[in-house]
């Protein structure tokens, strides 16, 4: 282990939005780890005070600002209140002022959260200081760093660690994962894009009896390691998407994890046989199988998962007969059917899914006759019809969707200026994607809702007056608007 692990431990506090954390009390944490670190609530609240209101910095803010400003004058943070020290660390990270020298000041400071994803300069020595927080440390994110197995060993004393993120740490191997065997309080573990972790390394997962979230996305060598997940009965979210080695035999080991709520197996080799293993997962809320080599047979199994709220079967090339099995999934709020062989005939099977809020039909063979079955989906907020066969007539069936906010009509050659007058009646729209040679400035005028400030023919500049409507308007092959594409008008 070299000199990387020579320090002691201790305890502190980081204020994170309860909504982000899902905190129910105590010191439990469950949140997305990304750098820069969010500001403390006390600091963030200033941004939400009424315009023009008098604001005075709190004592905590003044102290944090003073310490950060004079950081070079400190030799140790010993004796400084632990809640203050946590805020100082967060501020240094946010301002990219944390360095090996300033980091040493935090040795044995009882920090609870060290979030350094993609932070420059993180190495094994930093883990020595981080490990000195001991039982106080609850959350650690060092994703994207060059730390090694030796560095990870410094976390052995951090036995209360609940959230650990090691995404894209290219030098961590199975040997480094041995530290996990002593971290039985972990609830969230993320090892995305770990190219050196194999099935053998997953043996260290067996003691993670509190684990709820496990992310192994883009780990290519984990085939055969799912047997070590069988005892993780508290697991609720599992992501093994884009793990090219995952096969049916792996999925069979998940059958007993009945508390699983979210499963991501996109772009794996799982087919109908593997999907059959999901039959008993009656608590499953979200299932993503994009690009899996399944057939309509798998849809029979999925039809039995009536608790599903989110289903992604993009690029599975399923025919209408497969989509027929969707009829009973009445709790679906998100459905991604992009790049399937769905036609007008299959659209009838969607008309009863009245809870749908997001529907993706990208590149499906759906036209005006099929899109009429969407008119009863009154909760739709997002609809993707890009590269479909829907035209002006079909757009009329969307006029009653009063909650529709996002509409994608890119590469829909059947939509012309006439269709834009129909779109103009959907007053709830905030985002519209038009990508068609058939649309002119004359047609776009219908979308101004008579609010143009100038009487001249509508131009891109005048569309900026729409304010609430964000545009992505790309005139393919159009000479008259070269260099004038709208990117994001708000």
The percentage of residues in the chain with a pLDDT greater than 90, rounded to a whole number, is: 74
For residue range 182-216, list pLDDT tens digits in order.
999 999 999 999 999 999 999 999 999 999 999 99
Strands (E), 2-117: 113-115
Q: How do residues 121-168 score in pLDDT, each as one tens digit? A: 999 999 999 999 999 999 999 999 999 999 999 999 999 999 999 999
DSSP class per residue in 8-71: ----------HHHHT--STT-------SSPPPPHHHHGGGGSPTT------HHHHHHHHHHHTG
167: tokens are 């995404």
Report if residue 67 sits inside a domain.
no
Based on the number of CB atoms within 10 Å of its own CB, is 339 exposed (0-12), middle (13-18) or buried (19 or more)?
buried
Alpha carbons 434 and 486: distance in angstroms, whole number: 10
Q: Would you say residue 26 lies in a domain?
A: no
Q: Is residue 51 part of a domain?
A: no
In a domain, 427, yes or no: yes
Q: What does pLDDT average to over the chain?
A: 85
Tell me, yes or no, whether 229 lies in a domain: yes
Q: Across residues 22-42, what is the average pLDDT? A: 38
Per-residue confidence band for 5, with pLDDT thresholds at 50, 70 and 90: low
How many domains are there within the chain? 1
pLDDT at 216: 99
Domain that residue 253 falls in: 108-439
Question: What does the block give as tokens for 357?
Answer: 């809020």
With respect to residue 468, please indicate whether it lies within any of the assigned structural domains: no
Average pLDDT value for residue range 236-248: 98
pLDDT of 353 higher than 60: yes
Residue 17 confidence (pLDDT) above 60: no
Give yes or no for residue 21 having a pLDDT over 90.
Answer: no
Q: Is the peptide bond before 196 cis (omega within 30 degrees of 0)?
A: no
Mean pLDDT of 222-242: 98
Q: Give a three-class secondary structure readout of 380-391.
A: CCEEECCCCECC
42-51, 326-335, 432-441 — most confident range: 326-335
Pairing mode of beta strands 237-239, 382-384: unpaired
pLDDT at 457: 35
pLDDT of residue 152: 98
Q: What are phi and psi of 409, to 5 degrees?
A: -120, 25
The answer to the question of residue 383 being in a domain is yes
pLDDT digit string, tens, across residues 367-404: 999 999 999 999 999 999 999 999 999 999 999 999 99
What pLDDT score does 289 carry?
A: 98
**Quick check: is 22 in a domain?**
no
Could you tell me the CATH number of the domain that includes residue 239?
3.80.10.10
Contacts with 455 (C-beta within 8 Å, 6 or more apart), sequence order: none
pLDDT at residue 366 is higher than 70: yes
pLDDT tens, position by position, 435-479: 767 888 888 888 876 332 333 333 344 344 444 444 444 433 443
* Out of 39-53, 113-127, 193-207, 348-362, least confident range: 39-53
């Amino acid at each position: 282990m070299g000199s990387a692990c020579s320090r002691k431990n201790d305890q502190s506090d980081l204020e994170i939005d309860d909504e982000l954390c899902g905190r129910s009390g105590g010191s439990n944490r469950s949140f997305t780890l990304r750098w820069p670190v969010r500001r403390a609530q006390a600091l963030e609240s200033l941004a939400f005070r009424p315009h023009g209101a008098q604001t005075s910095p709190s004592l905590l803010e003044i102290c944090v600002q003073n310490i950060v400003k004079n950081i070079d004058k400190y030799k140790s943070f010993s004796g400084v209140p632990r809640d203050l020290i946590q805020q100082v660390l967060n501020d240094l990270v946010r301002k990219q002022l944390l360095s090996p020298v300033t980091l040493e000041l935090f040795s044995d400071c009882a920090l609870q959260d060290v979030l350094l994803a993609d932070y420059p300069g993180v190495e094994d020595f930093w883990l020595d200081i981080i490990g000195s927080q001991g039982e106080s440390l609850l959350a650690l994110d060092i994703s994207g760093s060059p730390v090694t197995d030796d560095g990870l060993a410094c976390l052995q004393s951090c036995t209360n660690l609940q959230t650990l993120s090691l995404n894209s740490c290219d030098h961590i191997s199975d040997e480094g994962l041995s530290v996990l065997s002593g971290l039985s309080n972990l609830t969230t573990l993320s090892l995305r894009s770990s190219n050196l972790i194999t099935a053998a390394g997953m043996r260290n997962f067996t003691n993670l009896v509190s684990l709820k979230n496990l992310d192994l996305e883009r780990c290519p060598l984990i085939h055969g390691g799912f047997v070590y997940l069988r005892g993780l009965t508290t697991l609720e979210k599992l992501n093994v998407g884009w793990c090219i080695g995952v096969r049916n035999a792996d999925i069979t080991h998940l059958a007993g994890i009945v508390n699983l709520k979210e499963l991501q197996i996109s772009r794996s080799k799982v087919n109908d046989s593997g999907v059959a293993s999901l039959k008993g997962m009656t608590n499953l809320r979200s299932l993503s199988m994009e690009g899996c080599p399944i057939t309509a047979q798998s849809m029979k199994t999925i039809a039995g998962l009536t608790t599903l709220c989110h289903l992604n079967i993009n690029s599975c090339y399923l025919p209408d007969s497969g989509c027929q099995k969707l009829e009973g999934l009445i709790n679906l709020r998100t459905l991604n059917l992009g790049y399937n062989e769905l036609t007008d005939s299959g659209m009838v099977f969607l008309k009863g899914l009245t809870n749908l809020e997001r529907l993706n039909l990208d590149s499906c063979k759906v036209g005006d006759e099929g899109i009429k079955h969407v008119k009863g989906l009154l909760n739709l907020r997002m609809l993707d019809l890009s590269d479909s066969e829907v035209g002006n007539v079909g757009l009329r069936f969307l006029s009653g969707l009063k909650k529709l906010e996002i509409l994608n009509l890119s590469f829909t050659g059947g939509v012309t200026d006439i269709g834009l007058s129909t779109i103009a009646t959907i007053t709830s729209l905030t985002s519209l994607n038009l990508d068609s040679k058939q649309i002119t400035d004359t047609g776009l005028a219908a979308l101004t809702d008579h609010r143009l400030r100038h009487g001249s023919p509508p131009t891109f500049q005048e569309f900026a007056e729409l304010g609430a409507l964000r545009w992505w308007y790309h005139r393919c092959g159009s000479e008259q608007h070269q260099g004038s594409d709208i990117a994001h008008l708000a």
